[in-house]
Amino acid sequence: MATPGARATGVGVLDKAVSVLDAVETRPMSTSELARALAMTMSTTHRLTGALQAHELLRRDADGRFHLGPRFATAPLLETAGPALEALRDDTGESVQLWVRRGTQRMCAVSVESREELRTALPVGSFLDLPDGSAGQVLVGAPIPPGQGWLESSGTRTPGIASVSAPVYHHGEIVAALCLSGPLQRLAPSPGALHGSRVRDAARHVEAATWGSAAAD
Q: pLDDT digits over 138-186, tens only?
A: 999 999 999 999 999 999 888 999 999 999 999 888 999 999 999 999 9
Q: Residue 104, SS3?
A: coil
Whether the CB-CB separation of 67 and 28 falls below 8 Å is answered with yes
The whole-number pLDDT of residue 2 equals 42
Max distance between CA atoms of the chain, in angstroms, equals 62
151: DSSP letter: E
Buried b (16+ CB within 10 A) or exposed e, 173-196: bbbbbbbbbbbbebbeeebbebbb
- In the predicted structure, residue 214 carries a pLDDT above the cut 60: no
Whether the CB-CB separation of 98 and 168 falls below 8 Å is answered with yes
Query: For 162, phi and psi rounded to 5 degrees?
Result: -125, 160
Average pLDDT (100-129) is: 94
Q: Residue 65, SS3?
A: coil
The whole-number pLDDT of residue 73 equals 74
Q: pLDDT digits over 73-97, tens only?
A: 788 898 899 999 999 999 999 999 9
d(CA 58, CA 121): 32
From the list 125, 115, 81, the residue with the least C-alpha distance to 95 is 115
The whole-number pLDDT of residue 7 equals 58
- pTM (2 decimals)? 0.78
Average pLDDT, the chain: 91
- In the predicted structure, residue 203 carries a pLDDT above the cut 90: yes
Where does the pLDDT of residue 199 fall: very low under 50, low under 70, confident under 90, or very high at 90 and above? very high
Whether the CB-CB separation of 191 and 127 falls below 8 Å is answered with no
The whole-number pLDDT of residue 4 equals 42
Q: pLDDT digits over 98-108, tens only?
A: 999 988 899 99
- In the predicted structure, residue 213 carries a pLDDT above the cut 70: no
The whole-number pLDDT of residue 3 equals 43
Domain limits, the chain:
12-68, 73-216
Class of domain 73-216: alpha beta
Where does the pLDDT of residue 5 fall: very low under 50, low under 70, confident under 90, or very high at 90 and above? very low
Average pLDDT (47-66) is: 92
The whole-number pLDDT of residue 97 equals 98
> Does the domain made of 12-68 have the CATH classification 1.10.10.10?
yes
Q: pLDDT digits over 31-44, tens only?
A: 999 999 999 999 99
The whole-number pLDDT of residue 72 equals 83
Average pLDDT (113-138) is: 95
